[in-house]
Amino acid sequence: MSSGAALAALIGIASTEAAECPRKDALGTSRVLSVDARTTPRVGLKSFPQTLALADHEVVLTFDDGPNPPTTSKVLVALAQECVRATFFLIGLHASQHPDMVKRIAREGHTVGHHTFSHPFMARIPFDKAKGEIDRGVAAVEMALHGSSTATPSTPFFRFPYFQGTQAQLDLLQSRGVVVFGADLWASDWNEMTPEQELKLVTERLAASGKGIVLFHDPKARTAAIMPAFLRYLRENGFRVVHIVPAGPPQKSADAR
């Protein structure tokens, strides 16, 4: 199978180009990829044997643990200025506390994924409690987005806190058609460091890997601070941003009220 055919078989191409960007010198979003749980139930080389079939110098930007209005809003401004779309894996408790920010993330074209309700170590708790964390987290995000408390996610993307989950939990998510995301590289922004140190760390890791799913945490002030410079680094070094969406029907639009 050719590399192009393999890519289409693996995740499919929802669109070859993202929406037109009004700023011609912006980084932009190069293309949109639909990710299908039937063919890619788990991705991210830090956790799994396989990842998304990205070309050289293609990156997927992901943010965990939000929303946190003071910092998430700064991240959103930086992304908007460069016409870049990302994926936010939201904690249900935070989504229930800041529904307007959840709506804003979706309204600005980003993908909204799930990250449990309260961010526990999932591998250390009983299965029923873990299932409740998944269901309650999804329900809180869906309520914030659409006013409907359902455990069926409109975007079936999930990431384990600390990348820790059991086989039974993985099987549960796969049976529900939910893609589990790891990452290919991360900014290690949970560690104490200056914004300059974080920027140096993540750009060096990206230069070494050449592509991949990148993990940040939008509640971290140091990450919000470096985002304009990080996006500028991508633009100046020939990287292209890929926006991921679920296969199947398009995401419902967030209520703009």
Of the residues 98, 115, 217, 243, only one is catalytic, namely 217
Instruction: Give residue for tokens 């700023």.
Output: 23
Other beta carbons within 10 Å of 190: 14
What does residue 90 show for φ and ψ, rounded to 5 degrees? -95, 140
* Cis amide linkage into residue 67, ω under 30° from 0: yes
Of the residues 64, 65, 184, 218, only one is catalytic, namely 64
SS3 content of the chain, % helix, strand, coil (to 5): 40, 20, 40
Catalytic annotation present for 36:
no
- Taking the C-alpha atoms of residue 49 and residue 42, their distance in angstroms, rounded to an integer, is 9
Q: Using CB atoms within 10 A of its CB, is residue 188 exposed (0-12), middle (13-18) or buried (19+)?
A: middle
Catalytic annotation present for 64:
yes
Beta bridge partners of 245: 34
Show which residues are catalytic.
64, 217
